[in-house]
Amino acid sequence: METFVIEGGQRLHGTITPAGNKNAALPLLAAALLTTEPLVLHNMPDIGDVRVKLQLLNTMGVESEWISPTTLRLRAETLHLVDPDPALASRIRTSILLAGPLLHRAGHTRLARPGGDSIGHRRLDTHVLALRSLGAHVQVTKAAYEFSGTRLHGTELFLDEMSVTGTEQAVLAAVLADGPTTIYNAASEPHVQDLCNCLNAMGAQISGIGTNTLTIVGVSQLHGAEFTLGPDYMEVGSFIGLAAVTGSALRIANARPKEQRMTRIMFGRLGVHWEDDGNDIVIPGQQELRVQDDLHGIVPKIDDSPWPGFPPDLMSIALVIATQAHGTVLIHQKMFDGRLFFVDKLLSMGARVILCDPHRAVVVGPARLHGERLTSPDIRAGMALVLAALCASGTSVISNIAQIDRGYARIDERLAALGASIVRRKAE
């Protein structure tokens, strides 16, 4: 077990580049099963969840090779196992995305219940709805999901929610199905777009990318391709928050500023601003963080919603920024019922937060945070605690940092390069 030892109060400076989109990387690894030819993925993040997914694929017979630190070559020419290892599958959320590709490759598979962050109830009903509508038989047991179907067929599919992974499941299954498929109420996040664009590079016929209606014409086979993942816009949002709470001037290179338009609105309610410089984002130092009241002096709200709304993965970052802003704000986490439970750790650091219920917290700032011993509960809350520790006075020790490593590649090294006092140490 390792910890981060962080000495707060340091001004940071310089340029940081976000890694490839974690939430695109994981479904793209599943897409490699849809062809026997090589799939080469550029700008791949070397993070914990990718390593687990690769290990899972390797045990099934998929060949993989890092041909550069951020370029991965995959080939699923022969599969000698179509029921993925339950222990590995249960460690990551996106193991469920192997279902559609394995139905096309083998006509059946058995998948253990997936893992992932403990952020409340995370439905898989949309996955089952999509696959059953495409002609698969799905049997649900307490410990696993069993899928079968020798040939899937296109259909009109209206998803019961804008589920990102549910949409990706439907897309992965529909690209090789017989006939056309239309997916209504589809998710449209940048990582869903990356998946669709990569599949098109492999020979799929998907239109409507970036909208909530996807049209897919099934093809008989896919071929190999090369594809470059976009930057991880959750990392970009995290780095904007990092600059804000530490009063630092930072440049975020290759940030795709257009993907931060709703983040600009929500962080702007806390007084955070920045400039776009081509494809970079430039955050000025020593910003005065001040809550911007709604009209007539009403307490403002920061809330999440499906794309292009404010991402739920950045709610914990927004909450930490709010602890450093003058004024009162309501944080309303609508999409998950366990994501605010890290608030107790901020309270131990001196934050003034009232947790109203699993979905709402009132933050009164600014608070002088102090160093504390902390435990990372999940990827995004873990990164939020790193931000809190960096703007606190004194020393913080964060344990269970494997959770942070699952989504942020070498974050300690990258932050140290900006001047942060952060060291990775073996736990005592």
Does the annotation count 117 as an active-site position? yes
DSSP for 61-72 reads: T-EEEEEETTEE
Measured CA to CA in angstroms, residue 311 lies from 72, 335, 355, 405 at distances of 27, 10, 20, 20
- Residue corresponding to tokens 């930490």: 320
**H helices present in 202-328, as ranges:** 233-246, 261-268, 315-323
Q: Which of 49, 117, 303, 304 is catalytic?
A: 117
48: tokens are 């914990």
Residues 215, 72: Cα–Cα separation, whole Å: 29
Could you give the 3-state DSSP secondary structure of residue 43?
Answer: coil
370: tokens are 């102090």
Element containing residue 424 per DSSP (H, E): strand 421-426
- Residue corresponding to tokens 């976009």: 230
Contact 40, 249 (CB under 8 A): no
Residues 31, 194: Cα–Cα separation, whole Å: 11
**Active-site residue set:** 117
